[in-house]
Amino acid sequence: MLRARVDRHRCIGAGNCITIAPSAFDWHDGDFAKADVVDPASVEDELLREAALACPTLAIVIEEVQEFLPWQLRTAEAGRPRRVMKTFMFTDMVGSTALVEALGDEAWATLLRWHDDTLRSLLAAHQGEEIS
Q: How far is CA 131 from the centre of its chain?
A: 10
- Across 102-116, average pLDDT: 93
Q: How far is CA 10 from CA 17, 34, 41, 93, 125, in A?
A: 14, 9, 23, 24, 13
C-alpha–C-alpha distance, residues 27 and 114, integer Å: 28
Residue 117: its pLDDT value, please? 92
pTM (predicted TM-score): 0.50
Task: Read off the pLDDT of residues 93-102 as tens digits, 9 standing for 90 and up.
Answer: 889 999 999 9
Same domain, 15 and 59: yes
Domain count within the chain: 2
Is 78 a domain residue? no
Same domain, 45 and 90: no
- Across 5-11, average pLDDT: 91
Same domain, 6 and 64: yes
Same domain, 98 and 128: yes
Instruction: Report the 10 Å Cβ neighbour count for 10.
Output: 17
Name the band, by pLDDT with cuts 50, 70 and 90, for residue 86: confident
Residue 77: its pLDDT value, please? 53
C-alpha–C-alpha distance, residues 31 and 84, integer Å: 28
Range(s) of the domain holding residue 17: 2-68
Residue 57: its pLDDT value, please? 94
Same domain, 103 and 127: yes
Task: Read off the pLDDT of residues 14-40 as tens digits, 9 standing for 90 and up.
Answer: 999 999 999 999 998 887 789 999 999
Task: Read off the pLDDT of residues 40-84 as tens digits, 9 standing for 90 and up.
Answer: 989 999 999 999 999 999 999 998 876 555 555 455 555 566 677
C-alpha–C-alpha distance, residues 9 and 70, integer Å: 30
The more confidently predicted of residues 81 and 104 is 104
CATH of the domain at 17: 3.30.70.20
